[in-house]
Homo-oligomer: A and B are copies of this chain.
Amino acid sequence: MIHARKRIEIVVEQLHAGTVTELLDRLGASGWTMLPVLAGRGRQGLRQGGVPGGVMDNVMIVCIVTADTADRVIAAREELLDARPAIISLTDCAVLRAEHF
């Protein structure tokens, strides 16, 4: 009734988000969701969205994929890192509808 998948979470500059989503599309992800980021601290120090009202420096991209697609994303790490993501993490998850992912 539920089906094992991988949840990929990527934090990246909004400027480079298209590079990430195009790669996910090409590697077989059936979809993704992009969330706004208010602020963050990482290797490059503190970063805050400069403009009130939604224009932020970073976005979070969440993408749920099969294990095979996740393996392709991991194998494409060099290309993915070209977008200079702050974070790439993978988590095991389950979905209700296998046909959607």
Near B by CB (< 8 A), chain A positions 16-38 give 21, 25, 30-38
By a CB distance below 8 angstroms, the chain B residues around A96 are 74, 77, 80-81, 88
What is the interface residue range for chain A against chain B? 35 or more
| In the bound complex, CA of A75 to CA of B100 (Å) | 18
Closest to A36 in B: B38
Q: Which chain A residues have a beta carbon within 8 Å of chain B's beta carbons? A: 1-2, 5, 7, 9, 11, 21, 25, 30-43, 49, 52-55, 58-60, 62, 64, 74, 77, 80-81, 86-97, 100
Q: List 25 A-B contacts (CB under 8 A).
A: A2-B74, A2-B90, A7-B9, A9-B93, A11-B33, A30-B42, A30-B43, A31-B40, A33-B37, A34-B40, A35-B60, A36-B38, A38-B59, A54-B54, A60-B62, A64-B87, A80-B96, A81-B97, A88-B96, A89-B93, A90-B94, A90-B95, A91-B93, A91-B94, A92-B92
